[in-house]
Chains A and B, each alone.
Chain A
Amino acid sequence: DSGVTQTPKHLITATGQRVTLRCSPRSGDLSVYWYQQSLDQGLQFLIHYYNGEERAKGNILERFSAQQFPDLHSELNLSSLELGDSALYFCASSEGRGGTDTQYFGPGTRLTVL
């Protein structure tokens, strides 16, 4: 157990819908990262927040957005869902803001869009 929690574990929804994925970092970690893992794209970095502020963006679609709240948990919002958004979404956390920190991954949320 990495100490990073994600809810829900599984999510099944229809195209066009909107969902919210939640992540709670390890105690004391200030950074939260979101990744998407799909069969065709592999593991892709989406976005990084440090202490409530966005630090870096990766291959995140405009239909997707995220935020980190004062209690440091983070939510990833996916809207206007398409079949291709079906994937495993991982959250990771680390202690600092970058550089040499190790990222600890949560168990993931498996999203299925029908």
Chain B
Amino acid sequence: AQSVSQHNHHVILSEAASLELGCNYSYGGTVNLFWYVQYPGQHLQLLLKYFSGDPLVKGIKGFEAEFIKSKFSFNLRKPSVQWSDTAEYFCAVILNTGFQKLVFGTGTRLLVSP
């Protein structure tokens, strides 16, 4: 069955540290890839998305992600995290692009200590 895996369930970093969150999907066809963020007590917000073209995608708040087709991966990165980045991060994939059935990973909780 198609799935999305996020390797790290909890990540703790100090401010200014670099961040990389892993995301792998298991689907052989064409995919659209997303990273969403959920700040404490808030709704899901789109960080960035990849549909086609340049596999290095830049999103909001200094985040970027790289699509590596051969590895079925779409890892999220940020060179220097801030305390305000404390949140839960979800990788998501759209399968069967005729229908917008988003499949989410289990999420990674990021805690950034000041």
Contacts and interface: CB of A to CB of B under 8 A. Distances in A.
A55 B36 CA distance: 23
A10 to B, nearest CB: 12
A57 B5 CA distance: 22
A42 interface: yes
Interface stretch (B17-25, B45-53, B76-84): B45-53
Contact-residue size bin, chain A (C-beta under 8 Å from the other chain): 20 to 34
Contacts of A43: 90, 92, 104, 107
Contact-residue size bin, chain B (C-beta under 8 Å from the other chain): 20 to 34
Interface string B88-114: 001010100111111111110000000
Interface in B34-72: 34, 36, 42-46, 49, 51
Interface of A: 2, 4, 31, 33, 35, 42-45, 48, 55-56, 58, 90, 92, 94, 97-108
Given A103-B46, A104-B46, 10 more contacts: A2-B45, A43-B107, A45-B103, A45-B104, A55-B99, A58-B101, A98-B97, A102-B49, A106-B43, A108-B43
